[in-house]
Structure 1
Amino acid sequence: MTTNQSSIDAPVAIARPLNAEGENPYLLGVFAPVRDELTLDDLPVIGEIPKDLNGVYLRNGPNRQFEAPGRYHMFDGDGMIHAAHFENGKVRYRNRYVRTRAFEQESEAGRALWTGLMENPKDNPFGNGHGLGIKDAANTDVIFHRGQVLATWYLCGTPYSVDPLSLETLGAQDFLGTFAGDMMAHPKVDEKTGELIWFDYGPDQNYLRYGIIGADGTQTHLTKIDLPAPRLPHDIAITENYSILMDLPLVQDQEARKAGKYRIFYDRELVSRFAVVPRYGTGAQVRWFEAKPCYIYHVVNSWEQGDEIIMDVCRVKNPQHQTTFEHPLANMLAYMRLDAQLYRYKFNLRTGTTTETPLDDANIEFPSVDSRIMGQSHRYSYNMSLGNEPTLLFDGLVRFDSQTGTKEEHKFGKGRWGAEAPFAARDGSTGETDGYLVCFVNDEAEDRGEINIFDAEDVAAGPIARVLLPQRVPSGFHATWIRSDQLAQGSPS
């Protein structure tokens, strides 16, 4: 495996010590919340913004509105979406909170009403639809479907509709009154059919609910897939004709659940299982494939090839590794330090066998492919390199070529940390590298953010343009790119 690499500055810093006073690092530095909701034009630009880059880049993440009692977990913060809207060589930046039901109640009260993930939720006003008493903050992903953005939550929650340009929260999305449940963090959109494929799970249910929202905006399919016990899957894969759901060995502590708490552990005695189901199939039509124990936060892509379904993922061998430092939040900090590698599964529908193969050994995560070919074979994926730090920080971009096994990489530089960078097709784009990558970058020394633009054909060359922002974009979670032709379609009534 070979790598082409560039850096905007000196090599990245390595493993800085944690704050001696035990302060929560996910509330400091590049993670600290920003309070101002801004709309900014005429921003300083280093380089030149391409005129054929037209659309909007959105990134979601936690940004708590009020200080809450107890220990803060990065997953607790209220969702805030940051947007960079490109049009004919110009860019506008905007950030807005996702105004969830819980956010509005706390706004009215003028204080926090919910404790966090690491505290007992017994006095919280309400939780999600499955009885998990934690605040649904809609802070995890942003998915474009039928002219609107869906802001989702990592433990299954209400998807909130957001306007992709104004970032106005339009309300809880019930899909014209047909939606039957919560939605996990990463539903998949098939751009060829206009369908949205999703599942949900709960702390007390021995099954997954698997469903489809059709191109008309209504729920067109729903079925149950039985599990041996409650599970915590995070992502789903789709192909042209199938969906792949997961039963993985990261499970909920049922004794803690009886005590009203949320606690997970990695059961090394269990295998990983993958449910392959026809897109409009039922639980009775599921075919299970077994593999070595692991956890998978994020799928790269999946497709059909002859008798096989191929699925590329970022595979975590040990999602509950031991902490190597003393800190009041040591367990949470250890859990958040991802160690994931690109990995390929092949599920043979004729023989029922599983083949699994590592694709690379680098620690990379938050993958994406050209959204136009989701569920079809891809060659290139765009991924984030994880820094050797005690917190979740991205120190670079990695373009991986699954055909040759090589990668091209850009490091952001010392004290500079990036965000998920989905492929942004240029106007008239004809392929999965014919476009750009857009991401936010925080500069610790300058205490401000940037919008960086890369040529997807030459990631190692570094950014072709840097748009300077007057405030940080706090490090967060997932992003999406919405093309101008998608924006032009508008939102159906």
Structure 2
Amino acid sequence: MADDAAIARRISTGPLTGLNTLNPYLQGLYKPVAVETTALDLPVIGEIPKDLHGAFVRNGPNPQHAPEGMHHWFDGDGMIHAVYFENGRAEYRNRYVATDDYRAERAGKAIGAGGVLMPSAAARPDSTRGDLVYKDTANTDLVFHNGSLMALWYIAGKPVRVDARTLETIGNEDFGGALPRHVSAHGKVDPRTGEFCFFDYSLTEPWMTYGVVSRDNVLTNFQRVELPGPRLPHDMGLTENYVILHDLPVVFTEGGLRNHMWQIKVADQPARFGVAPRNGRGDQIKWFETETCYIYHVANAWEDGDEVVMTACMMQPNGFPPNPAYGPYASMVNVLALNAVPVEWRMNMVTGEVKKRQLDDRIGEFPVINLDYTGRKSNWSYHVSMAPEELQRFNGLLKYDLTTGRAEAHRFADGVGGSEPAFAPRIGGTDEDDGYVVVFATAPDGTSEVQILDAKAFDKGPIARVPLPVRVPAGFHGTWAPGDQIAA
């Protein structure tokens, strides 16, 4: 052990074997790290603003053991990386999310569930899913609610509470025993009411659910919504009075369902957005049909007169043919090459009409906003820009004006891979973009840093850079936890 300023605990990863030597998402920018680290009073290039107070946290996959069978990037155990800012100083930590499956595997027990590229067994006896079960990693998303973080999983699993300052796992969250099923990634917190709004879906049954949890962690509403068939949604929208659910034409193939395999296709059917009263009944949902498309991530949603507005990143074909150099991973690599553009949909609750407006033709994804504007009209959204490469690499950031579609760009240095950023409101800030954009960036030589940009001078580059003691692999989603709200 080192001194208290830099504590590192080695974890059990190992060399790649077999088919995984062809898996690019276990190597280079995506290679898991082999230590859990705490580093206090980090060096700074430039000056960290003293009105920046809180934690920038990001989740992502980090297998605790070197995978032996076919491994999808999305299968890795959840690991959170965080930088905490206060009084112009910064601390770094990374910790695993201690899910039930993580703890069982760490203890050497079989969990009876594998990743999405492996055949899945029937539901475990202790499962409440009622459908197929994959390893629950809580590796996808983070939301800050009721003073701590919740780590969430994209196939819908058990939410895991995590201390936002120390990153130590608190335990599974079931809202006082009232949670009927599970929670998917990309739930939203209403900044005015403090409510956490979420959705869940079944892999094999024709329905999904949505729920509302109060500021004080009490489940106040839980509703079921019927669907024409099983669906694979990824995100949702939230406004002052509504949730927006996604019925999208990416579904399991018949062979995938029959063989218990994650085999999906794009069905010949429209996309549908379901607008349901947040505190009403599921059968009060109003559906809006639009062209066939898939949406991974929503930027924001709000109400404008009779219309419900949703801005999101709409996927388009990426144009890359599967590369045989990746062997059995060619299909995975092809699907992960994101190709999305920002789009606004307006759904008229009176006439049933839906209008679509593409805001820009630049390729980007992972949109974030000032979370104080969640569910209300917002003007700014911060996206990662995508390198025109086969592998998913974020080569910079885009600040969008959601009204005009104009964007300012910040590009990383050549070969650098970034992460989903977070917007950190300035202490005493007076308007929507009065604050900072913080982002992890990792260079080809394995060095990582956090960059801090002034949101009002976005195209001028970082005002401060914080070199980190360990590499931060490419990952998924993060958030900002305000310093004055982090539970002691």
Same fold (TM over 0.5): yes
Q: Name the structure 1 match of 2:287.
A: 288
Q: Name the structure 1 match of 2:209.
A: 209
SS in 1 for 2:429: coil
One-letter amino acid matched to 2:202: G
Shift of 1:130: 4.1
One-letter amino acid matched to 1:131: D
Most deviating of 290-299 and 382-391: 382-391
On the 8 A contact 1:128/1:136 being kept in 2, the answer is no
On the 8 A contact 1:128/1:157 being kept in 2, the answer is no
Q: Name the structure 2 match of 1:183.
A: 183
Give per-residue Cα distances to partners, 1:384-405, cap 9 Å, x unaligned. Answer: 0011122111000110012232
Q: Percent identity?
A: 42
SS in 2 for 1:452: strand
Separation in 1, partners of 2:259, 2:468: 46
Superposed, 1:388-399 pairs within 5 Å as 388-399=388-399
Shift of 1:43: 2.1
* Structure 2 unaligned blocks of 5 or more: 1-18
Separation in 1, partners of 2:432, 2:169: 31
CA 483–71 in structure 1, closer or farther in 2 if over 3 Å, else same: same
Separation in 2, partners of 1:184, 1:272: 20
One-letter amino acid matched to 1:462: G
On the 8 A contact 2:20/2:26 being kept in 1, the answer is no
One-letter amino acid matched to 1:129: R
Separation in 2, partners of 1:327, 1:124: 32
Shift of 1:255: 2.6
Shift of 1:463: 0.8
Shift of 1:315: 0.5
On the 8 A contact 2:54/2:86 being kept in 1, the answer is yes
SS in 2 for 1:297: strand
Q: Name the structure 1 match of 2:302.
A: 303
Determine if the alignment matches structure 1 residue 342 to structure 2 residue 332.
Answer: no
Separation in 2, partners of 1:198, 1:116: 24
Shift of 1:317: 2.9
Superposed, 1:86-101 pairs within 5 Å as 86-101=85-100
Q: Name the structure 2 match of 1:152.
A: 152
Separation in 2, partners of 1:21, 1:183: 31
SS in 1 for 2:25: helix
Shift of 1:256: 1.7
Determine if the alignment matches structure 1 residue 121 to structure 2 residue 150.
Answer: no
Separation in 2, partners of 1:330, 1:285: 43
On the 8 A contact 2:320/2:390 being kept in 1, the answer is no
Q: Name the structure 2 match of 1:262.
A: 262
Shift of 1:303: 0.7
One-letter amino acid matched to 1:218: V
CA 225–124 in structure 1, closer or farther in 2 if over 3 Å, else same: closer
Determine if the alignment matches structure 1 residue 41 to structure 2 residue 40.
Answer: yes
Q: Name the structure 1 match of 2:379.
A: 379
Shift of 1:30: 1.3
One-letter amino acid matched to 2:422: P
Separation in 1, partners of 2:122, 2:203: 18
On the 8 A contact 1:128/1:135 being kept in 2, the answer is no
TM-score for the superposition, normalised by structure 1: 0.91
SS in 2 for 1:460: helix
Shift of 1:119: 1.1
Determine if the alignment matches structure 1 residue 60 to structure 2 residue 63.
Answer: no
RMSD: 2.0
Separation in 1, partners of 2:478, 2:203: 27
SS in 1 for 2:326: coil
On the 8 A contact 1:57/1:481 being kept in 2, the answer is yes
On the 8 A contact 1:127/1:136 being kept in 2, the answer is no
One-letter amino acid matched to 2:105: E
Separation in 1, partners of 2:319, 2:347: 27
Determine which structure has greater relative contact order: mean sequence separation of CA pairs < 8 Å that are 6+ residues apart, divided by chain length.
1
SS in 2 for 1:82: strand
Give per-residue Cα distances to partners, 1:391-427, cap 9 Å, x unaligned. Answer: 1110001100122321110110111111111110011
CA 320–176 in structure 1, closer or farther in 2 if over 3 Å, else same: farther
Separation in 2, partners of 1:230, 1:473: 36
CA 320–187 in structure 1, closer or farther in 2 if over 3 Å, else same: farther
TM-score for the superposition, normalised by structure 2: 0.92
Q: Name the structure 2 match of 1:416.
A: 416
Superposed, 1:185-264 pairs within 5 Å as 185-264=185-264
Q: Name the structure 1 match of 2:270.
A: 271
* Structure 1 unaligned blocks of 5 or more: 1-19
One-letter amino acid matched to 1:56: A
Separation in 2, partners of 1:22, 1:334: 18
